[in-house]
Amino acid sequence: MFDYEDHYGSDEPEPPKIFIGSQYIAGGKVEKSHLFGVIETELATGAITFVPPAEEASQPSEDSAFSEVLARYESFSAGAVAVAGLIDGINPCTFTTIIFLISMLAYMGKTRRQLSYCWGSASRLRYL
């Protein structure tokens, strides 16, 4: 992959990356219509996709691969990770189910104490 990125001059970190003829598509640009357009253009020009020779293919050491991944993750701030976790934790299905449960129990005439026991039990069962 490093050989392809070096050859095509790709510095975009987001996947996926598709190398076609003399072009590459990365990240959000990988759409069916755009991909087919690039393929048609490359076929019309007769371009050949770069293939690194097997004996010359650079094999990154485990340390360099690890350090590259570590450098990407070190760029994330603790606040950004916390906000992403909170946003990911918001599950509309769970909220809808809990609201339905509380509404049903309230309609059945249950007391606040019974509602709180039911809420606590449901919350704990969810994580089993």
For the entire predicted model, the pTM comes to 0.38
More confident residue, 55 or 45: 45
In a domain, 82, yes or no: no
Residues 58 and 96 in one domain: no
Q: Are residues 11 and 57 in the same domain?
A: yes
pLDDT band, residue 56 (cuts 50/70/90): low
pLDDT on residue 128: 65
In a domain? residue 51: yes
> Which pLDDT score is estimated for 88?
72
Determine the structural domain holding residue 34 and report its residue range. 2-75
Do 28 and 58 lie in one domain? The reply is yes
Domain membership of residue 18 (yes or no) is yes
30 plus 50 within the same structural domain: yes
pLDDT at residue 105 is higher than 60 = yes
On whether residue 56 sits in a domain, the answer given is yes
If asked whether residues 71 and 115 sit together in one domain, one would say no
Average pLDDT, the chain: 77
* Number of folded domains that form the chain: 2
| Residue 110 binned pLDDT confidence (cut-offs 50, 70, 90) | confident
Q: Is pLDDT of 57 > 60?
A: no
- Alpha-carbon gap, residue 119 to 123, rounded angstroms: 6
> String of b and e for 7-46 (b: at least 16 CB within 10 Å)?
ebeeeeeeeebebbbeebbbeeeeeeeeeeebeeebeeee
Same domain, 9 and 59: yes
Torsion angle in degrees (nearest 10) through CA of 42, 47, 49, 53: 180
